A = this chain, B = another copy of it.
Amino acid sequence: MARPRRSDDTRALLIEEGAVGLLFNGYHGTGIKQVLDKVGVPKGSFYNYFDSKESFAHAVIEHHSLCVQRNLAEAFTGAPDALTGLRRFFATLTADFVARDFTGGCLIVNLGGELEGSETLRTALSAAWAAWRDGVAGALRTAQAEGTVRADLDAVDLADLLLESWEGAVIRMKIDRTVEPLDKCLRRLLDDYFRP
């Protein structure tokens, strides 16, 4: 396979550094210059890679969405059943939050809360959430067939409740600096409401 061109490498590095900036400092709190400096790219060349800060953020959101899809797929690899895979997925997210001392949280929610007025970014966030929700709904549907999740409620409805509760719990984790909301959310739903 041909080695990616240098410009592709730089674009990928800018997106990865941008994801860190947007996660921790938000859209308005992230300066393009600061991202370029970290990657070691001169300011003038930003527009070789992106049309605008908005299109840069769009690329970051799409990259984040693909990472979530990949993490979800990895959690199911080798898992004995779908519910175990789902628990592994959330356990990995939780471990990452603990490792970062409860800072950062979720890019989709942080930007969803902060951004107003950009249709481009709003639809990118909407698509990212929907893709995640569809992946989790698929896992819940399999778990329903396997008999580990109640089958009398729609898997998409359960996935919506699970992810919306999880995201609210992530915000509380950030402002309370504790893992407790995440653990409670999963116990309340996976171990109680979702039980067959």
Contact = CB atoms under 8 A, between A and B. Distances in A.
A163 to B, nearest CB: 7
Nearest to A189: B161
A49 interface: no
A176 B109 contact: no
B164 A181 contact: yes
Contacts of A87: none
12 contacts: A103-B116, A105-B112, A109-B113, A110-B114, A112-B174, A125-B175, A161-B184, A161-B189, A164-B165, A164-B172, A164-B181, A167-B168
A25 interface: yes
Contact of A114 (B29, B106, B188, B193): B29
A53 to B, nearest CB: 13
Interface string A18-34: 00000011111100000
Number of copies: 2
Contacts of A181: 160, 164
Nearest to A182: B164
Contacts of A111: 113
A125 to B, nearest CB: 4
A88 interface: no
Interface string A80-94: 000000000000000
Interface in A1-52: 24-29
